[in-house]
Amino acid sequence: MNKALPKTLLFQAEPEPLARQILTKVPELPLVTVDSHDAVPDALDAQKPEIVFAFKIGKSEPFPREAILCCDSVKWIQASGAGVDHWTPWDTNKVTITNASGIHAEVMAQYTLWAILNHRLGFPRMARNQSKSLWDKKLLVSAAGATLAVIGFGRIGVEVGRLAKAVGLKVIGVRAHPKPSEHADEVVGTDRLHDALGKADFVLNVLPLTEETRGLFNAEVIATMKPGACLINTGRGHIVEENALVAAIESGRLGAAVLDVFATEPLPPESPLWTLENVVITPHTAGDMIDWEDDVTNLFCNNLERWIKGEALANIVDPARGY
């Protein structure tokens, strides 16, 4: 039976628990594991897998994109996240790449709602006062009635909209192919991006990184945002031009920013973003819920069953669109 099952390579920092999870579903799967990026090329040469289940490993070794995409035996790659910019470009005639879109939606939506309420209710100011033992009572400002523009109204964006509307925000979704949603007051095309930005008190960027979105939030686009607005970025760091953002915050053109992703990660100590009073920084953690790897592995197992049966895979990525 083993000969009928596809040889599979899993690489992750601690792969054994995930391997056990996979083998519980497909006990006779010929599965090989490695725990570093550096070990991937040798594993490809020795094993010639048909499938690669790939996690980014937070170490200094470069991601083994080229080695995998140049391996003739590899026909399907399952990415561990929604973003696949570290894979582009690839030849869809040679290999299929699927992502983990939807896995991170729940916690990323909660992160966004926290970012909105944290800013609107003034918690950063109160935290600064606490560090000074300063009692300075001010009236709170409700988030209800404020407007949120979600740039990239896909699975994550829709879940953000659901939570945002529950606390009374007006939601404008922006996506390439707009269609009505019960979780947005309106959904518009990217041709109306500037209009949406001009109306929004809060702007969430949750776009994938593509050639079209790289540097999208430059000085010109930031200038179209509503004065005093708060920018939340959980998409990709390269979508926001950081120098332009710093200038907009320092000038008061924007009121605040909550940033989870950056052009260079970890964010360099010398970055001015660290010391701006109205900027909250988190270490690329908005989608990393406890046990998220288990959820991605369940998604992979479901797709693996489809692959074995010759059925269409879920979450196939179009490299031209980035999702």
Can you give 141-201 as a three-state secondary structure string? Answer: CCCCCCEEEEECCCHHHHHHHHHHHHCCCEEEEECCCCCCCCCCCEEECHHHHHHHHHHCC
Q: How confident is the model at residue 230 (pLDDT cuts 50, 70, 90)?
A: very high
**Does position 94 have pLDDT exceeding 50, yes or no?**
yes
Question: What pTM was computed for the model?
Answer: 0.92
Is 182 among the catalytic positions?
Answer: no
| Residues 39, 61 contacting (CB under 8 angstroms) | no
**Does position 294 have pLDDT exceeding 80, yes or no?**
yes
List % helix, strand, coil for the chain (3-state, nearest 5): 35, 15, 50
The one catalytic residue among 37, 119, 236, 253: 236
Please report, for residues 80, 263, 268, the alpha-carbon distance to residue 112 in angstroms, rounded to integers and kept in the order given: 21, 20, 24
Is 265 among the catalytic positions?
Answer: yes
| Cα distance between residue 55 and residue 296, in whole Å | 10
**Does position 264 have pLDDT exceeding 50, yes or no?**
yes
State the amino acid at position 245 in one-letter form. Answer: L
Question: In a 10 Å sphere around its CB, with 0-12 CB exposed, 13-18 middle and 19+ buried, how is residue 269 labelled?
Answer: exposed
Average pLDDT of the segment spanning 243-268: 97
**Does position 2 have pLDDT exceeding 60, yes or no?**
no
- Half-sphere exposure for 283 (CA within 13 Å, toward CB): 4
Average pLDDT of the segment spanning 182-200: 98
Of the candidates 117, 148, 111, 147, the residue with the CA atom closest to the CA atom of residue 235: 111
The one catalytic residue among 125, 162, 238, 284: 284
The one catalytic residue among 66, 265, 305, 311: 265
Token pair 């079209």 is at which residue? Answer: 212
| Distant-in-sequence, close-in-space partners of 6: CB < 8 Å, separation ≥ 6 | 29, 30, 49, 50, 51, 307, 308
| Cα distance between residue 236 and residue 322, in whole Å | 12
Question: What confidence score (pLDDT) does residue 61 get?
Answer: 82
3-state SS track over 36-71: CCCCHHHHHHHHCCCEEEECCCCCCCCCCHHHHHCC
Average pLDDT of the segment spanning 107-134: 97
Q: How confident is the model at residue 59 (pLDDT cuts 50, 70, 90)?
A: low
Is 284 among the catalytic positions?
Answer: yes
Mean pLDDT, rounded, of the chain: 96
For 271-289, letters b (16+ CB in 10 Å) and e give bebeebebbbeeebebbeb
**Does position 1 have pLDDT exceeding 60, yes or no?**
no
Domain with CATH 3.40.50.720 in the chain: 2-103+290-309, 105-281
Beta bridge partners, 78, equal: 53, 98
Rg of the Cα atoms in the chain: 21
Question: What confidence score (pLDDT) does residue 47 get?
Answer: 97
For 117-138, letters b (16+ CB in 10 Å) and e give ebbbeeebeeeeeeeeeeeeee
Average pLDDT of the segment spanning 164-174: 98
CATH topology for the 2-103+290-309 domain: Rossmann fold (3.40.50)
Q: How confident is the model at residue 185 (pLDDT cuts 50, 70, 90)?
A: very high
Retrieve residue 6's tokens: 């596809």
Beta bridge partners, 77, equal: 52, 97
| Domain 105-281, classified CATH 3.30.450.20, yes or no | no
Please report, for residues 77, 84, 156, 165, 269, the alpha-carbon distance to residue 145 in angstroms, rounded to integers and kept in the order given: 43, 35, 22, 10, 37
